[in-house]
Structure 1
Amino acid sequence: MTRFPAVDGLRVIAAAAVVTSQVGLHTQAPFAGVVARLDVGWAIFCALSGFLLYRPHVLAWFSGTLPPLTLPYLRGRALRILPALLVTVVLSIVLVPEPATTYLRWAVLTPLPFYLLLPGLGRLLTGYERPTRRSVRWRLLVLVALTILGPVWMAAVMATGHPEAGLWLPGYLGWYAVGMGMALWQVARATGRLGPSTLDTLTRVPGTLWGIAAALLLIAATPLAGPYDLSAPTPAQAFVKSLLYTAAVACVLFPVLTPTARTVQVLGSRPARLGAQLSYGVVAYQFVVLGLLDGPFAVQLPVALLASVVLAAVSYRLVERPLVRFGKKTATAATAISATSPSSSPAR
């Protein structure tokens, strides 16, 4: 399987969850604990990025081919992420300065460092030996260990009185590692490097895993996982919240690796595909929208969702998609020139 259609639906759900949690921060939201914990959407985005971006490295390792080239990968990431980010920052500076600062800090200190780190990390975790069953299991253990880094880091920064360090990559690396581990497991199972296990049974009962994820979020909605606003939690609360999010994201993502027909029908529908294309823009532009809104939760939420979708659609059509296409054309032209240059022709 080269495409995972149910992933589109997860992107839409993650974006809607993020917007809802942000509206909750700005208002007196009903069911404040549940609404606040919908910021788990950030964790879902991280896990999906880990899965989709690390999987090509795993495929190259298993097939004995070269891993993805670093410069084309970085160019693709930059063209997909930076345009909407820069537009968001400019609009926020003009209209609502504080959200620009908040979003820029999050964007620079978490996703972008992971994108820069991934090529080296991918090579480190897929090189040096053949992809045997033993080597795959060792790498899965390494990625499982990385999932513990996030909770430990969050507890440590709270214990040492440096909560701002919670925005740094180590606090979120565990969520990326969840997706990376699932990418390795999925390719290993598909190629026979790993044999059948009880995990295969779980992929056939998505409702059970999603129910577990919901239960974990309800636990996180209690004071065990800390305050519902931006107040600093205790070290224990920070650890519990990060750990619960990690487990919940694993339960959410796992069923889409080998989805049932019903899962594909719902999460991989055409509206879901369209929503997935706009999801990053929705998350970005909602910071601008919320800076301009006032009123109760029931009013702000639908307005924020609708306005963010409209801005994201305009941005995608007029800015993001043209730049991505331009980047692809430029890369194709550069490849063609390189292939026909005298230096690239075989020696006679």
Structure 2
Amino acid sequence: MTRFPAVDGLRAIAALAVVTAQVGLHTHAPLAGLVSRLDVGWAIFCAISGFLLYRPHVLAWFSATEPPLTLTYLRGRALRILPALLVTVALSIVFVPHPATTYLRWAVLTPLPFYLLLPGLGRLLTGYERPTRRSVRWRLLVLLALTVLGPVWMAAVTATDHSEAGLWLPGYLGWFAVGMGLALWQVARATGRLGPSALDALTRVPGTLWGVAAALLLIAATPLAGPYDDSAPTPAQALLKSLLYTVVVACVLFPILMPSARTVRVLGGRPAQIGARLSYGVVVYGFVVLGLLRGPFAVQLPVTLVGAVVLAAASYRLIERPVMRLGVRRKNTAVARTASRATSPSSSPAR
């Protein structure tokens, strides 16, 4: 399966951005507007998940093969996500007097429902007809429509004062849809289902798209996109912030679909691979470290980052990787047993 090494660098950057935004939220950081909007890292994580998890469904559709098995997929997701998440919750309950519960609730109420729904979404968006140019374009339009759902949902939630619903999946589905749409476009271009277009040129100028993303993030860092703390925004502010984040993440992710050698060197090297491997742990354990600290932004940020990286590395080596390897061994054992039963004689030969 095709690997996208530049994704590693984006994961590491997203983790750094999220932790910085968390620290800024709790410490009255300088440049509060810009620091607070680094929570766009969540959007990057969501889009990457949508891209990587939906792409196997697209490949199966185009090759007329079976899509990923639902139980196998869900088992893999659980083995990757739950160990560190459960340890984080336990540590927060025991050691953290005021844990970052909003972020933890978001981690449960947003990504996990998407992971559960993805097999169904994958079948809905890749089945029922052959992958022609028309069917691909139709599905791209559906995914484009889903990107609008998030901003509209967030505006409606704010207008009706249902703050808890602001953590639910519909408010963030557009970010996942960005990644899913890019996965569909990339495979369609690679297999010739879609012909060359102006979009191909954009993949060759990553600096331009990333510059656009930076400019949009600066706009989001103004009061136009809402307050810099947990205060409730107006419906217009909530809509604008969600919409800006959706476009930002599309601009950030698009160039890695056909990356240049320089992009791969910068975002796909060994340090980026390590950062990507630890990115999930850095984010979730960052909640714990931050909850134990008091002090100014300049002190809390480096301490939180170092502490989160140390905990994430220890967790990956001692908990997460062993759990994933155990899962793989059990899966291989089950497959071997099934194959053995299938090839063994079911009865004695007739005399």
TM range (shorter): over 0.9
Conserved 8 A contact 1:89-1:100: no
Aligned-partner SS, 2:99: helix
Residue-by-residue CA offset, 1:187-223 (whole Å, 9 max, x unaligned): 0000000000000000000000000000000000011
Task: Tell me, in whole angstroms, the C-alpha distance in 1 between the residues paired with 2:254 and 2:25.
Answer: 29
Partner of 2:76: 76
Partner of 2:193: 193
CA distance change for structure 1 residues 329 and 216 in 2, over 3 Å: closer, same or farther?
Answer: same
Letter in 1 for 2:215: A
Partner of 1:240: 240
2:86 is equivalent to residue 117 of structure 1: no
Partner of 2:180: 180
Letter in 2 for 1:95: F
Task: Tell me, in whole angstroms, the C-alpha distance in 2 between the residues paired with 1:230 and 1:293.
Answer: 19
Conserved 8 A contact 1:93-1:100: no
Residue-by-residue CA offset, 1:69-106 (whole Å, 9 max, x unaligned): 00110010000000000000000000115426334311
Residues 88-237 of structure 1 aligned to structure 2 (within 5 Å): 88-99=88-99, 101-237=101-237
CA distance change for structure 1 residues 34 and 101 in 2, over 3 Å: closer, same or farther?
Answer: closer
Partner of 2:85: 85
Conserved 8 A contact 2:24-2:35: yes
CA distance change for structure 1 residues 231 and 332 in 2, over 3 Å: closer, same or farther?
Answer: same
Q: Post-superposition, which runs of at least 4 consecutive aligned residues in structure 1 deviate over 6 A? A: 343-346
Residue-by-residue CA offset, 1:285-318 (whole Å, 9 max, x unaligned): 0000001111111111111111100000000000
2:69 is equivalent to residue 58 of structure 1: no
Letter in 2 for 1:158: T
Task: Tell me, in whole angstroms, the C-alpha distance in 2 between the residues paired with 1:272 and 1:163.
Answer: 36
Partner of 2:258: 258
Partner of 2:349: none
The CA RMSD over aligned residues, in Å, is 1.5
Work out the percentage of aligned pairs sharing the same amino acid. 82
Task: Tell me, in whole angstroms, the C-alpha distance in 2 between the residues paired with 1:266 and 1:335.
Answer: 39
Letter in 2 for 1:51: F
Residue-by-residue CA offset, 1:154-199 (whole Å, 9 max, x unaligned): 0000011102101000001000000000000000000000000000
Letter in 2 for 1:9: G
Normalised by the length of structure 2, the TM-score is 0.97
Task: Tell me, in whole angstroms, the C-alpha distance in 1 between the residues paired with 2:55 and 2:137.
Answer: 16
Task: Tell me, in whole angstroms, the C-alpha distance in 1 between the residues paired with 2:233 and 2:85.
Answer: 29
Task: Tell me, in whole angstroms, the C-alpha distance in 1 between the residues paired with 2:264 and 2:135.
Answer: 32
Residues 8-47 of structure 1 aligned to structure 2 (within 5 Å): 8-47=8-47
Cα displacement (A) at 1:333: 1.0
Task: Tell me, in whole angstroms, the C-alpha distance in 2 between the residues paired with 1:344 and 1:49.
Answer: 41
Conserved 8 A contact 1:88-1:100: no
Residue-by-residue CA offset, 1:270-289 (whole Å, 9 max, x unaligned): 00001100000000000000
Cα displacement (A) at 1:344: 9.3
Letter in 1 for 2:171: G
Task: Tell me, in whole angstroms, the C-alpha distance in 2 between the residues paired with 1:268 and 1:71.
Answer: 31
Aligned-partner SS, 2:11: helix
Instruction: Number of aligned residue pairs: give it.
Output: 347
Task: Tell me, in whole angstroms, the C-alpha distance in 2 between the residues paired with 1:345 and 1:178.
Answer: 51
Conserved 8 A contact 2:203-2:258: yes
Task: Tell me, in whole angstroms, the C-alpha distance in 1 between the residues paired with 2:48 and 2:338.
Answer: 33
Gaps of 5+ in 1: none
Partner of 1:304: 304
Conserved 8 A contact 1:154-1:239: yes
Letter in 1 for 2:313: A
Letter in 1 for 2:124: L
Letter in 2 for 1:58: V
Task: Tell me, in whole angstroms, the C-alpha distance in 1 between the residues paired with 2:51 and 2:337.
Answer: 32
Letter in 1 for 2:205: V
Cα displacement (A) at 1:43: 0.3
Letter in 2 for 1:55: R
Task: Tell me, in whole angstroms, the C-alpha distance in 2 between the residues paired with 1:135 and 1:97.
Answer: 53
Task: Tell me, in whole angstroms, the C-alpha distance in 2 between the residues paired with 1:32 and 1:342.
Answer: 63
Letter in 1 for 2:174: G
Residue-by-residue CA offset, 1:128-162 (whole Å, 9 max, x unaligned): 00000000000000000000000000000001110
